[in-house]
Amino acid sequence: MTIRDTAEEWEIRATETPFTGNKTSVRTDDVVMPDGSVARRDYQVHPGSVAVLALDDEDRVIVLRQYRHPVRQKLWEIPAGLLDVPGENPLHAAQRELYEEAHVKAEDWRVLTDVYTTPGGCDEAVRIFLARGLSEAEGDRFQVEHEEADMELRRVPVEDLVRGVLAGELHNNCLVVGVLSLVAARGGDGLDALRPAEAAWPARPFES
């Protein structure tokens, strides 16, 4: 038996959008349940995101410390950002985020994993890339603002991040999933067996 997620869509009797924000919105659907009843489901509609686990030659990961207002904490994270344009190639978005947040470029890109962050209340899909062969990016640094103006940048050994995740000291979902996926990939078929950077992504289809 193959264990895998499958596409399925239940009947929607009615839908409305009670809130529309700058990047996301909230939708309310009346969904027909298997027993014929109708249940109301509220969820955030999200354009999707990319994240980059950038691994250097000393087995260190580029991480950023950033204030996240909803949870009232400064979290250590890997570079990440929104898919700004519908149908945007996620690899191009990931390369942009690595440049903007860390001023770094990478020679080797692979898909590390794809996740839904909170599928019970949000349709956000995130593609996490593994980037290797790092070097300093050319050109001027990206001008940051708002929370990003206070960011702290470090390179942290993989083993230290794993220890922090398992100790409950690191909480950002892309960092947690990315670091543990890296360790799992190494213990399996190896990093070179990961999917190519342009692998299909049904959750957010794109053109190469």
Q: Does 128 share its domain with 155?
A: yes
Q: Which residues partner with 30 through β-bridges?
A: 14, 40
Where does the chain show beta strands of DSSP type E? 12-20, 25-32, 38-45, 49-54, 60-68, 73-77, 80-82, 104-116, 125-136, 152-157, 195-196
Q: Which of 9, 77, 107, 148 is catalytic?
A: 148
**Residue 188 falls within a domain, yes or no?**
yes
How many structural domains does the chain have? Answer: 2
Q: Does 173 share its domain with 89?
A: yes
Specify the pairing of strand 12-20 against strand 125-136: unpaired
Give the C-alpha separation, 188 to 167, whole Å: 24
148 is catalytic: yes
CATH number at residue 86: 3.90.79.10
Residue 182 belongs to what H/E stretch? Answer: helix 173-187
Domain range spanning residue 19?
A: 12-45
- Residues 189/194/138/172 CA torsion (nearest 10 deg): -90
**Residue 205 falls within a domain, yes or no?**
no
Q: Model-level pTM?
A: 0.93
**Edge-to-edge strands, sheet with 152-157:** 73-77, 60-68, 152-157
Question: Per residue of the chain (208 residues), what is the pLDDT tens digit?
Answer: 799 999 999 999 999 999 999 999 999 999 999 999 999 999 999 999 999 999 999 999 999 999 999 999 999 999 999 998 888 999 999 999 999 999 999 999 999 999 999 999 999 999 999 999 999 998 766 665 556 667 899 999 999 999 999 999 999 999 999 999 999 999 999 999 999 999 999 999 998 7
